[in-house]
Structure 1
Amino acid sequence: MKVDIRIVSLSMLVGVALIIFDFLMDSTFLKDMNNDQHQLIMGMVILGTFFAFGLVVSHQFYNFREAERRASQASVFLQQLINAIPAPVFYKDRNYIYTGCNKSFAEFLGRSATEIVGRTVYDLAPKHLADVYHVKDRELMENPGVQIYESKVKGGTPDESNVIFHKATYLDEAGDVDGMIGIILDITELRRTEVEREKLIVELQDALDKVKVLSGFLPICGTCKKIRNDSGYWQQIEAYIRQHSKAVFSHSICPDCAKKLFTDYEAEQKEQTAKTQQGGSRV
């Protein structure tokens, strides 16, 4: 049996003091100095009683101190354990008051743990977000178990973060709901990536809608170079290509055509000039 020697010693001192007090009372007021054996027996009884009392009290006090030490040790271990979790963790009592959190939660809100413990969501968050949190907390307390939902958090940064709350209730010794514990998963980057991906998909789809590809067998006239469309009508090649693609035509003339065209034109001009000169000579 483990005891506190200080309490036992104190009990023994009290017992000795009572024995001395009894001896003095007998010698001073009763003048009875002949019953030494009786006084010795009473002294031993008193001393033994206080010794036993000291042992019992000391043992109980030791157990209390040991339980207190273990509870404190467990509390420190629990705090170190949740501090090792990289995600923000918090817990509240049945009155929706924060009773603890880990370092990640405090850093996520841009506050210290002492600024969080003992407060409610209305002390830590904007009202439009605090209203959402409080409604969800009440739903969980009225329907004990697990709750998961997506929301936003205004933390230590200017922008609100997209998060997923994962909360669960815990019970007291009597089996009644005593509060809740929650963990926050920051999905801001995930949502930003999804938005960028959706934007990219829209841009790619828009680009694909603007692209028309010519493929397959195209009937084309060997003389005038017209193309027969799907309806059976013949179209100028530039009109057909313009209709089935985003190509834009600008008309010009190649060197071969220019040489042929202007050679014929010069020949006609010379012939016309010669005829004019011959007509003038006859006159």
Structure 2
Amino acid sequence: MDSLLERVSALQDFTPVLIALYDTEDRVRYANRAFREAFHLSEDSFPTWVDIIRMNHRDRVGLIINTKDFEAWLLSAQSRRGKQPFRGLELDMHDGRWIWMTETVETDGWMLCVGSDITALRQNQRSLRQDRDLAMRAAQTDELTGTSNRRFVFAKLACHAEAVDKEMETPFGICIIDIDLFKGINDRFGHRGGDAVLRDFVKLAHSTIRRPDYFGRIGGEEFMLVMPRTGLDECVSIVRRILEKVAETRPFADYPDFSYSCSAGVALYKAGEGANELYHRADRALYLAKQNGRARLESVVE
């Protein structure tokens, strides 16, 4: 058995196919030689996906990222990454290659990425596929903040509810989060300032949630977080970390004393209820949080 595993390991480092394994925090736990060379990673480094992308963009190596707003691009990519059991995507590389990368996500959130060189495909096919991918991304993304939009996150909510009812998945939780007194922020700083607070909150949320979680803006200053295969205590813990980060943030350099807060309502899915029923229970919990003083989290079991 040991000799077989050694042979497999040797072949993984010999193959030109890119192979990497990420944990639930989206940190590389294994990457073969081809993957490390493509993304310019040293043998002893095990960075997060975000760290890899930031380094590639900064040093103009590895993945080509064509955008005028890197942070918005990064948030949008995070909101889609690892959110399906399987997906494929095309990557343009600075070395001239075109890589077809697949993501296979286990039920526990670990993800296997496998990339193949498909540079030989005709250019016109490549352009058509890239146009299609851009259109799909736009249909799933909130234009202002770069995170997922209402349509995408509600579709994922419905999918998980259906999976639980078919006993394909364990129960899960959702949270509705609302930025407190947002009208006052707009009144004080104008809509541009309000937009900056929305983007600040999205950035903080994405830096806190796990990769298997779904997060999106569902309207105005209201957001929804779907937490697959997660019990109430862990749901509460994740959301509390978000609220703690919000309490510490200072989004305006010119107003270092300005801060804002969020209220949140958490609910667990109950077998047989519809996705809308779950949403309304979480929304009732949010109402309680607002009623009880804001800047807090409330949860409902029934």
TM range (shorter): 0.3 to 0.5
Q: TM-score, normalised by structure 2?
A: 0.30
| Max Rg structure | 1
Higher helix share: 1
Higher strand share: 2
Higher RCO by CA contacts (8 Å cutoff, separation 6 or greater): 2
